[in-house]
Structure 1
Amino acid sequence: MKKIGIVVCAAAVAAVAAAGCSGGDKNAPSPAQTAGAGSAFNQTGYPVVNEKITLKMMGPKAAIHGPWDKMDLFTEMEKLTNIHFEFDTPAAETFAEKKNLTFAGNELPDVFFGGPLTPKDEVTYGKQGLLIPLETLIDKYAPNLKRILEQKPEVRSAITAPDGHIYALPQVNDVPGDLTTKMWINKQWIANVGLKMPSTVDELYTVLKAFKEKDPNGNKKADEMPLTSIRIADVRPAILAAYGLLGTNAVNETDGSMAYYPTQPGYKEYLAFMRKLYAEGLLDNESFTQTTQQLNAKGKDNILGAFVGAAAFTVVPEERNAEYELLPPLTSAVNSKAVWPKASNVIRGLFAITSANKHPEATIRWIDHLYSDEGSVLVIFGKEGEGYKWLDAGKTRWERTWPEGMNPEEYRGGKVTPAAGVQVPTIRKLDFLSKRANDQIIGPIAEQVDAKYVKVWKEAFPLVYFSEEQQKRVNVLEADLNTYVEQMEAKFITGKEPLDNWDKYVDTIKKMGLDEYLKIHQDAYAAWKKNSK
């Protein structure tokens, strides 16, 4: 066995809107379903059932995955619960199509795992009775999930459909560093040029200009690249926040009112600032086109002042990781209140029980274990002693392990868990993850995020459910709006389009249906707010 090196886990966090309607309690488990647990069902303790039962599971098989029935997650869970699964795992690329055919043909598995199911799936098939409501089952048989929903009401709000039911379960993320943009700036260079950590955009400009002109890397060459990225969208949230806008969603909600940030005065100021950086060579002119490999090559050359990344050492050599610190929230002439963008800590639609399932109580107990301390480790890293091991009797430090000669992620995806390749229903717990030996990611970044961002961060717009008609219109409107805004951002920053044409730009967006777009979000927000009470 051997120890793993530093591995960065990104949490990709995406919210997909979908169809909504109302239903009542007509979708509650039927007497036949609730009776399905039978006398062999244990409401607490293990096994979950005294006599083994077999259920059918459908989930997406990533390229890195081995057979799911051979994975430690499912074999260990079977030993614990006495619940066996038969698997239908179409390739991840074709999963959505296969899933849709499954619903259309009413040839349902007992559970969906790691789908994901879209919000539209949840609401549509929940209304039709093909997905059963889970909230009563959670209250009765899922103490770990129940505790999470009580302690984190934002999670319950995010997974409650417009009819008041919960049809699918999420991944919940307790790791602060996974939930926000992280822009790293070279604090050693700042000291070398005799300045302090910037707190305003004007101070940031001064620092970046000094990076370019004062040879902070000391090689007597004018080779420093003050600010760079593989795409402007990565830099945008950190800089845009200085102007009071949250770049994680084009719609910003404030006290119940909606604003489309690409038309706000603060966004115009952001464009002017970025244009200034670009024109003076303080923003890498390749930030619109370069690859990750090109960025990392620059990082190795010790020429980068600031960049966005999961951790500094993902771009620069590990020995220079400590030279970089998270950029604090900035303010500007038009915004004196520090704010920072926060992504949702919820990934929806990762587990659902269908109407075909004759053992819903046993099934909810099975999945509830993945939200416990032990289960949340099992589903990510596998068995103690094989996927990871503790380094001391007090269990204060641990490290990942894998067979000699194997790639660690290929081993994890091939033998341990589907979590190497797809999102899975569980909770990512900071307490365990921060105890990783030689951790330069979870713990240290969490400390900086907590110190700099947590007190001022905010979600731009909550995870909501759109009705089917609303979703259709959102898709149509966004196709035009997103393309136009992205193209114009690049033109404004590079100078191909003068900012004197700002009013024309805003008028064009309004003609694309901005008022309708905001009204849809306003209505969906109102429904979400009602369910949040």
Structure 2
Amino acid sequence: MRRHWGKKALTTMIVSGLILAGCSGNGDSEKENTPPASSESAVKTEGFPIVDEPIKLKMFTRIAPANGPFKEMPVFQDYEKMSNIQVEFIEAPTDGFAEKKNLLFASNELPDALYRSELNPLETIRYGTSGQLIPLEGLIDKYAPNLKALMEEYPEIRSAITTPEGHIYSIPGIVSTGSARTDKRWINKAWLEKLGLEEPKTTDELYNVLVAFRDGDPNGNGEKDEIPMSARKGAAGIPIANFFTGSFGLDLQFGYNINIEDGKVNIWSGDEKHKELLMYLNKLYTEKLLDQEIFSHTEAQYLAKQGTGNTGMFFDQTNNNFLPIQDQYVGIAPPAGPHGDQKQSTVAPVPRDFGAFAITSVNKYPEATMRWIDYFYSDEGSTLLRFGREGEHYELKDGIPYYTEEFLAIEGAQGKMTPYAGGGAPHLISDKVASFINPPQVQAAFEKLEPYMPEIRYAAPMFDEATAQQVNILRNDIDKYVDEQSTKFIVGALSFDKWEEFQSTLKKMNIEELEKIYQEAYDKMEK
């Protein structure tokens, strides 16, 4: 199915530890969760409470470093009173979360649901077809009016989460706010003004601006301590190279290094255009125009570099990390490359957080559980999840919730109030609830990018388990190799004279077979 970019915005698509005692429906939990004669008939299809007689559910969840205990969050305390559903969260830290999640399924010690669960497509299909996760499409149709409406408004959501057999085993977080789906290109306009420079419009102009940032002492301290450009740590393509793919004629279709032209799928990792991109980044890195710590600094260190005002250009979704000096920065458009290419390729999907919520086969109240999660796919429910209590945590201005200054002044308060802090929560992020991440400066920066968004964006295919396993095996080796070698090319540890050897190795790793699989998926999509 073809999906065009517009206001609805199109998507890319895209255990170890303790056996979690008490997660399954065994022992005392069976007594606690003994359903009424008809659990379905006891569930209201609209309004609150969801059930007249209280019920208890157990949900396995990831707890981020920013979070306090879920049971102490006002969000869930208030929602329990509204819904008449008591949720006991079994929390696993971000570090080691995947291992603990895998252990749950391997031991079959299942909770009633998984919340903020980060199930990838292969896990979703595997645990769904094994019967450990239940199909959700029927429950969505009858008990999730908010989610159903979003799936009708954005058809790419359904295609991104539906298996080849037609089942939905997990649901994502949904982002309808355009500016929340892509990092902005923030440049130090105070430095531009001091050095008498214009906003760069091409990759050559950007190079010249970065040279001026390095040599022109824009911070005025007489030392060469400025960082011309920085980005988050990651393997070569995640994220620094991806920010420049669109300037070199490269796209990121299917959430991968893929161009689609005239119906042909091309994995471009070994292409000359990719070489040209890496040569440009090598030039920036070698001349110290690109942060020398880009492959080693921590997330905290990167965010600190934003807040110092001593960085010339960087990439981030919002301006939260440099609010005290926000007037120093402005968003710019992607630069046109050497052949005139100019696109913003890094666009996250509308169903951004895949596998955020799933219901297991031991759950005795699947209808009530679906209604419980569906509330957070409404603006009202998302406001509760993201902003908490009106008057205490936020106030309304023209119908839009804003955190109070008193609440924002309390260090770490957001993470203790809501699971939204830490990412991956299953809910809707719409324009109405995005004030914290979408203030006017961010909106203006997004407007600079919007004309260069790809016209067509294809979601990552949902393969059957055998094909998904094959893709995983191929990509595990190919992606690791591409990232490692690309990093070496950028930092100068590997000469570009070795490019043909790089291409030859990719062929030996069966990159053409991987390309064929994606081609077949594309052909099925277009039928």
Deviates more, 1:318-327 or 1:152-161: 318-327
Q: 1:118 to 1:325 in 2, by over 3 A?
A: same
The residue that corresponds to 2:365 in the other structure is 359
The question of 1:329 aligning with 2:326 is answered: no
Q: Does 1:78 align with 2:80?
A: yes
Query: What is the one-letter code of the residue matched to 1:407?
Result: E
Instruction: Tell me if the contact between 1:135 and 1:166 (Cα under 8 Å) persists in the aligned partners.
Output: yes
C-alpha contact (below 8 Å) 1:228/1:307 kept by paired residues: yes
Q: Tell me, yes or no, if the aligned pair for 1:175 and 1:446 is still in contact at 8 Å.
A: no
What are the superposed Cα offsets for residues 202-260 of structure 1, whole Å, 9 maximum, x if unpaired?
A: 22222223333444444455554432345454322222221021369542141543222
**CA drift at 1:304:** 2.8
Partner of 2:161: 159
Question: 1:459 & 1:468 partners in 2: Cα distance?
Answer: 27
Q: Distance in 2 between matches of 1:276 and 1:98?
A: 43
How far off its partner does 1:379 sit?
A: 1.8
The offset of 1:526, in angstroms, is: 4.7
Q: Which letter does structure 2 place at the counterpart of 1:191?
A: E
How far apart, CA to CA, are the structure 2 residues paired with 1:94 and 1:191? 47
Deviations 1:191-212 (A, max 9, x none): 3333322221122222223333
Output the amino acid matched with 1:513. Answer: N
How far residue 66 of structure 1 moved from its aligned partner, in angstroms, is 4.7
Q: CA deviation at 1:70?
A: 4.2
More off after superposition, 398-407 vs 77-86: 398-407
* Residue-by-residue CA offset, 1:333-367 (whole Å, 9 max, x unaligned): 33445443212232121222233333333222221
Distance 1:522 1:429 in 2: 33
**Match 2:385 to one of 371, 379, 390:** 379
Instruction: Find the counterpart in structure 1 of residue 189 from structure 2.
Output: 187
Residues in 2 aligned to 1:430 and 1:464: alpha-carbon distance in whole angstroms: 28
Give the letter for the 1:482 counterpart.
Answer: D
Q: Indicate the larger mover: 343-352 or 517-526.
A: 517-526
Change (3 A) 1:141 1:250: closer
Q: CA deviation at 1:145?
A: 0.8
**What whole-Å deviation, never above 9, does each CA across 1:96-137 have from its counterpart, x for those lacking one?**
444444444544433222223332232223223332222222
Aligned to 1:500: 497
Change (3 A) 1:42 1:521: same
For 1:282, give the aligned amino acid: L
2:279 to 272, 283, 303: 272
d(CA) in 2 for partners of 1:360 and 1:164? 19
Residue 516 of structure 1 aligns with an amino acid whose one-letter code is E
Give the TM-score normalised by structure 2: 0.81
Distance 2:96 2:292 in 1: 38
Determine the structure 2 residue equivalent to 1:427.
428
Give, in whole Å, the separation in 2 of the partners of 1:284 and 1:92: 28
TM superposition shift of 1:171:
0.6
- Larger mean CA deviation between 212-221 and 124-133 belongs to 212-221
Q: Return closer, same or farther for 1:310/1:65 CA change in 2, 3 Å cut-off.
A: closer
Shift of 1:90: 4.5
Query: Within 5 A, what are the aligned runs for 1:258-297?
Result: 258-291=265-298
Q: 2:251 aligns with which of 246, 253, 259?
A: 246
Partner of 1:26: none
Within 2, Cα distance between the matches of 1:514 and 1:168?
30
Looking at structure 1, the residues matched to 456 and 441 of structure 2 have their Cα atoms a distance apart, in angstroms, of 23
Cα shift at 1:56: 3.2
* Deviation, structure 1 residue 294: 5.4
Q: Cα–Cα, structure 1 residues 45 and 450, in superposed 2: closer, same or farther, change >3 Å? A: same
Counterpart-to-counterpart distance in 1, 2:443 and 2:252: 21
Which residues in structure 2 correspond to 1:338-417 (within 5 Å)? 338-346=343-351, 347-386=353-392, 388-390=393-395, 394-396=398-400, 398-400=402-404, 407-409=411-413, 412-414=414-416, 416-417=417-418
Letter in structure 2 aligned against 1:192: K
SS of aligned partner of 1:37: coil
Cα distance change of structure 1 residues 42 and 320 upon mapping to structure 2, 3 Å threshold: closer
Unaligned runs of 5+ in 1: 1-12, 16-32
Amino acid at match of 1:272: M
Report deviation, 1:445: 1.0
Cα deviations across residues 362-387 of structure 1 (Å, max 9, x unaligned)?
2222211111112112222322233x
Alignment-derived partner of residue 522 in structure 1: 519
Q: Is the 8 A contact 1:177 1:446 kept in 2?
A: yes
Q: Which residue of 1 aligns with 2:3?
A: none
Amino acid at match of 2:360: T
The residue number in structure 1 matching 2:42 is 40
Q: 1:311 to 1:432 in 2, by over 3 A?
A: closer
CA contact (8 A) 1:132 1:355 kept: yes
Between 57-66 and 145-154, report the one with greater CA deviation. 57-66
Corresponding residue number in structure 2 for 1:134: 136
* TM-superposed deviation, 1:149: 0.5
Q: Which amino acid aligns with 1:205?
A: Y
Q: Does the Cα contact within 8 Å between 2:388 and 2:418 map onto a contact in 1?
A: yes
2:506 and 2:270 map into 1 onto residues whose CA distance is: 8
Give the structure-1-normalised TM-score.
0.80
Task: Indicate how the Cα distance of structure 1 residues 80 and 473 shifts in structure 2: closer, same or farther if over 3 A, else same.
Answer: same
User: Distance between the aligned counterparts of 1:425 and 1:296, measured in 2?
Assistant: 25
Q: What is the letter of the counterpart of residue 348 of structure 1?
A: F
CA 1:340–1:57 in 2, change beyond 3 Å: closer, same or farther? closer
Counterpart in the other structure of 1:465: 462
Q: Which amino acid aligns with 1:486?
A: D
The correspondence for 1:196, drawn from 182, 189, 198, is 198
Secondary structure at the counterpart of residue 306 of structure 1: strand
Say what the alpha-carbon RMSD is for the aligned residues.
Answer: 3.4
Provide the C-alpha distance between the structure 1 equivalents of 2:113 and 2:298, rounded to a whole number of angstroms. Answer: 39
Contact 1:344 1:463 in 2 (8 A): no
Whether the aligned pair in 2 keeps the contact of 1:201 and 1:332 (CA below 8 Å) is: yes
Identity fraction in percent: 37
How far does residue 513 in structure 1 lie from its aligned partner after superposition? Answer: 1.6
Q: Distance in 2 between matches of 1:86 and 1:492?
A: 49
With over 3 angstroms needed to count, the CA separation of the structure-2 counterparts of 1:214 and 1:92, relative to structure 1, is closer
Tell me: CA distance 1:322–1:71, structure 2 relative to 1, closer, same or farther (3 Å). Answer: closer
Match of 1:22 in 2: none
Aligned to 1:453, the other structure's residue is in SS state helix
**Cα distance in 2, alignment partners of residues 70 and 288 from structure 1:** 37
Identify the residue that residue 445 of structure 1 maps to in structure 2.
Answer: 442
Aligned counterparts of 2:303 and 2:47: Cα–Cα separation in 1 = 50
- Quick check: 335-344 or 510-519, which moved more? 335-344
Instruction: Say whether the 8 Å CA contact 2:43–2:50 is kept in structure 1.
Output: yes
Which residue number corresponds to residue 28 of structure 1?
none
Q: What are structure 2's unaligned runs of at least 5 residues?
A: 1-11, 15-34
